Amino acid sequence: MFSVTCVAPVNIALIKYWGKRHEDLILPVNDSLSMTLSTNELCAKTTITASKSFEHNRMWLNGEEVSIEESSRLTRCLKEVRRLALATGSQKVSPSWKVHIASVNNFPTAAGLASSAAGYACLVYSLARLYEIPFSDELTTVARQGSGSACRSLFGGFVQWHRGVLDNGTDSVAKQIVSSQHWPNMHVLILVVNDQRKKTASTRGMQNAVNTSTLLHHRADKVVPERINQLREAIQNRDFQTFGEITMRDSNQFHAIAMDTYPPCVYMNDVSHEIVSFVHSYNNAMGSLHAAYTFDAGPNACLYVLAEHVPQLVDAIQKVFPSDLMDSAEYLRGLP
Ligand code: PMV
């Protein structure tokens, strides 16, 4: 019997992935770029045990058993990692042995806090460790097939998921741009507006958007390529002004696409919109950009802020918003 335990953190997209050009392989219509958070905070922890005597593959998510067979994505990830194990891994653990997988998230699942990204990254990485598969770009293509954004959580720091052009998806990989050491004072503050499961799962939301939103196609073709280049440059130069503006514009455009979907898909709520107004007023009052918001497929806000500006920002949030929102705030640093 062999066991491994790994931890993978959440990543928060600055340029969002929204829309697939291939459903099963999870090939996106545009590149995306994210920052991975530190392993001390929002993360998934997975233990996998392989044994010759196990009769079935089994999995528990947050203590509840889930069916691997009923999830095409889980099945696909297991199959793909085993394929790599046969090709490149050591045979200490035979890929034919059944596995028991126990995974826990230390934060709300499916509430728009990228739980599936951390979960699938952790699953694929743990399996790779179990079979002693060397780390490679190919591993990111496997995590991608669990949940698109999961491929970015295999790295720390700032990460780009390249959409790729091939039909088989072998060039749709994540690559690290810089480690978190490059910009060590970059912090993220998460304001948990609502920790319930999101109304429209991202898979459904994306399908509807690809089929009905004209803005989505304009963004993928005309907006994202240039935005990615500008953001990469801002990160290289540690230019918070450009970084923040691009991040907020991209969050706004992503939610505009959700609204341009027919019927519309609404992820942000009134409190989310109040946070947007607050950040713009706060930056105006400061005379330059001190905070930048981004919202994923849910109402919760992620605020990017430099370490030296955290206390002042927290103070202002506490004055404007009720204390329960602040109680749930987390300060997060990047993963190396
Ligand atoms: O990987 P998924 O299917 O959970 O989709 C993630 C979509 C967003 O979080 C909204 C954007 C992103 O790039 O992470």
Centroid of ligand 1 to alpha carbon of 91 (angstroms): 34
How high is the mean pLDDT of the chain?
92
> Quick one: which H or E segment has residue 59?
strand 58-61
State which fold the 186-333 domain adopts.
Alpha-Beta Plaits (3.30.70)
Residue 334 has a pLDDT of 45
pLDDT tens for each residue of 40-56: 778 999 999 999 999 99
Residue 23 CB partners (closer than 8 Å, separation 6+): 207
What count of residues does the chain have? 336
Residue 196 has a pLDDT of 72
What is residue 82's three-state secondary structure?
Answer: helix
Residue 201 has a pLDDT of 87
Structural contact between residues 120 and 146, judged by C-beta atoms closer than 8 angstroms = yes
- Residues enclosing ligand 1, CB less than 6 A? 13, 16-18, 32, 114, 116-117, 147-149, 202, 296-297
CATH architecture assigned to 2-177: 2-Layer Sandwich (3.30)
- The domain locations on the chain are 2-177, 186-333
Residue 80 has a pLDDT of 96
What is residue 268's three-state secondary structure?
Answer: coil
Residue 89 has a pLDDT of 83
Residue 199 has a pLDDT of 72
DSSP state letter for 334: B
Sign of CA dihedral 199, 201, 202, 208: negative
ipTM: 0.99
Q: CA distances (Å), 126 to each of 47, 71, 102, 319, 334, in order?
A: 7, 19, 11, 43, 21
Q: CA distances (Å), 100 to each of 105, 264, 285, in order?
A: 17, 40, 54
Which residues of the chain, if any, have pLDDT below 50?
Answer: 331-336
Centroid of ligand 1 to alpha carbon of 266 (angstroms): 15
Centroid of ligand 1 to alpha carbon of 93 (angstroms): 33
Q: CA distances (Å), 96 to each of 2, 56, 83, 197, in order?
A: 13, 11, 11, 35
- What ligand 1 atom has the least distance to the C-alpha of 17? 13
The Cβ of residue 257 has, within 10 Å, a number of other Cβ atoms equal to 26
Centroid of ligand 1 to alpha carbon of 323 (angstroms): 29
Centroid of ligand 1 to alpha carbon of 147 (angstroms): 8
Closest-CA residue to 295 (of 9, 59, 13, 42): 13
pLDDT tens for each residue of 147-204: 999 999 999 999 999 999 999 999 999 999 999 999 999 999 999 888 776 678 889 9
Query: Among 120, 202, 203, 250, which residue has the most ligand 1 atoms within 8 Å of its CB, making it the best to mutate?
Result: 202
Residue 336 has a pLDDT of 41
